[in-house]
């Protein structure tokens, strides 16, 4: 146990190294997601047939009375291809086939309407609305900044009535703003600065944000603090601390030596926020009433850590939390390694089951590895996704559909979405 003086001294010794390290991580992340081009919203692919849509604005609700060939079970993925362009894919959850592909250019943040009729793409200083049935850009709005979110599927949210869209951007890639666009007037109506307790580029303080489904507000985490941002007024509540004074002592030595949030997910039904922390714990935050209740509900066993950038997935129907983990001694190739998927009951916090991804990868069909250009045991994993058909692990090799039998045992079924193409460099589920 270190004393408070020793802890402060240890932190001072690491300050400059952490600052340089975190600036490097932020720059690498921006380079990975950004690219150097402007928005390219031009192609939609239907069964290998390419059409170039018109950019002329369509009449409002032009497709309101048409039955779209969308079942509601589709899996929507944001991917970065080998040519560094980004796309949104509509994937058949049974076969893994890519039914449609929408090019969204570089450095894009995306979100879908609830009925999946419209795709919103926030790119460099511009928001575009795409009709999902035709692929046409129905309207565009200029914005005073570019996307500035943790990942391309975090940073764009719709209001409950979908008349407003909230965008996490920045005019300078340093200070976050919230741009609010009226989707009926098709105009920017607010540009709020999102003030943080720490600089966004220092010591793991880049903000993680979730839209509260039951209110027009955002839950914002900045390193070790949580506050609520009112989208009507642009004002923030007082911050609350998420960690105790000894938290940094529980951070593994191979991670930045500070207490911060790695990932989080909201349960819209219970108004609860689940957070994966650098202390390798799951923290439960009850947002039903202030002051918020904070409780540590899971501590990973010694020798295990959270894997990938977004290790958490909530199955809202089953009230089950899936957690991707890796062994502490797993060789780090790109920081996206995962060894196992663990399943927890999000009410009792009992661990129900686990799935060994090393075994799943080792037993994957040889044609899957050949088509995805993967050699050896590649543990690269981009995260988890959930649809009405179940849970999917998004790996460099392809999609792994995770099944559960009547005894709660987990198993996997591989789906090949890559065909004969090179593997995707990044992959995120579009909520």
Residue 76 has pLDDT above 80, yes or no: yes
pLDDT digits (tens, 9 = 90+) for 78-134: 998 877 889 999 998 888 888 888 899 888 999 999 999 899 999 989 999 999 888
- The fraction of the chain above a pLDDT of 70, given in percent, is 79
**Mean pLDDT, residues 185-189 taken together:** 98
pLDDT score at 191:
98
pLDDT score at 361:
84
pLDDT digits (tens, 9 = 90+) for 220-253: 999 999 999 999 999 999 999 999 999 999 999 9
pLDDT digits (tens, 9 = 90+) for 41-63: 323 222 222 222 322 332 333 33
User: Which residues make beta-bridge pairs with 51?
Assistant: 44
User: What is each CA distance from 218 to 68, 158, 160, in whole angstroms?
Assistant: 32, 11, 13
Residue 299 has pLDDT above 60, yes or no: yes
- What is the pTM assigned to this prediction? 0.81
Residue 34 has pLDDT above 50, yes or no: no
pLDDT digits (tens, 9 = 90+) for 321-367: 999 999 988 877 766 788 999 999 999 999 999 999 989 988 887 77
Residue closest to 402 by CA, chosen among 372, 367, 348, 357: 357
Residue 394 has pLDDT above 50, yes or no: yes
pLDDT score at 415:
87
Residue 25 has pLDDT above 50, yes or no: no
Burial (0-12, 13-18, 19+ Cβ within 10 Å), 297: middle
**Per DSSP, which regions of 281-415 are E strands?**
281-286, 293-299, 304-306, 312-315, 320-327, 340-345, 351-356, 381-387, 390-395, 399-404, 410-415
């Amino acid at each position: 146990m270190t004393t408070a003086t020793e802890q402060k001294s240890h932190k001072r010794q690491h300050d400059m190294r952490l600052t340089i390290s975190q600036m490097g991580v932020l720059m690498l992340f921006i380079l990975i997601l950004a690219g150097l081009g402007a928005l390219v919203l031009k192609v939609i692919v239907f069964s290998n047939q390419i059409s170039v849509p018109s950019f002329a604005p369509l009449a409002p609700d032009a497709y309101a009375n048409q039955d779209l060939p969308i079942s509601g079970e589709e899996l929507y993925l944001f991917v970065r291809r080998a040519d560094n362009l980004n796309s949104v894919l509509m994937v058949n959850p049974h076969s893994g086939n890519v039914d449609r592909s929408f090019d969204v250019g570089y450095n894009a943040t995306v979100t879908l309407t609830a009925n999946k009729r419209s795709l919103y793409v926030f790119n460099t200083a511009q928001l575009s609305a795409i009709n999902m049935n035709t692929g046409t850009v129905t309207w565009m709005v200029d914005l005073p900044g570019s996307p500035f979110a943790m990942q391309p599927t975090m940073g764009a949210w719709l209001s409950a009535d979908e008349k407003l869209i909230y965008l996490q951007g920045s005019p300078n890639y340093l200070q976050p703003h919230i741009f609010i666009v009226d989707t009926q007037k098709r105009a920017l109506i607010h540009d709020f600065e999102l003030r943080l307790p720490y600089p966004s580029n220092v010591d793991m303080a880049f903000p993680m944000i979730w839209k509260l489904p039951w209110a027009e507000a955002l839950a914002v985490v900045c390193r070790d603090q949580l506050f609520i941002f009112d989208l009507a007024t642009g004002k923030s509540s007082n911050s609350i601390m998420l960690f105790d004074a000894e938290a940094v002592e529980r951070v593994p030595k191979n991670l930045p030596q500070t207490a911060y949030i790695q990932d989080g997910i909201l349960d819209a039904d219970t108004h609860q926020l689940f957070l994966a922390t650098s202390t390798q714990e799951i923290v439960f935050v009850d947002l039903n009433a202030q002051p918020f209740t904070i409780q540590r509900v899971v501590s990973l066993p010694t020798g295990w850590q959270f894997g990938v950038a977004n290790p958490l997935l909530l199955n809202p129907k089953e009230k089950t939390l899936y957690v991707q983990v890796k062994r502490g001694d797993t060789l780090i190739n790109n920081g996206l390694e995962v060894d196992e998927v663990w399943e927890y009951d999000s009410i009792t916090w009992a661990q129900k089951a686990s799935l060994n991804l090393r075994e799943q990868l080792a037993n994957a069909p040889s044609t899957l590895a050949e088509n995805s250009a993967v050699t050896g045991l590649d543990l690269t994993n981009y995260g988890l996704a959930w649809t009405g058909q179940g849970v999917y692990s998004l790996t460099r090799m392809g999609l792994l559909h995770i099944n559960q039998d009547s005894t709660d045992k987990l198993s996997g079924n591989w789906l090949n979405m890559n065909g004969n193409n090179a593997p995707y460099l990044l992959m995120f589920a579009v909520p």
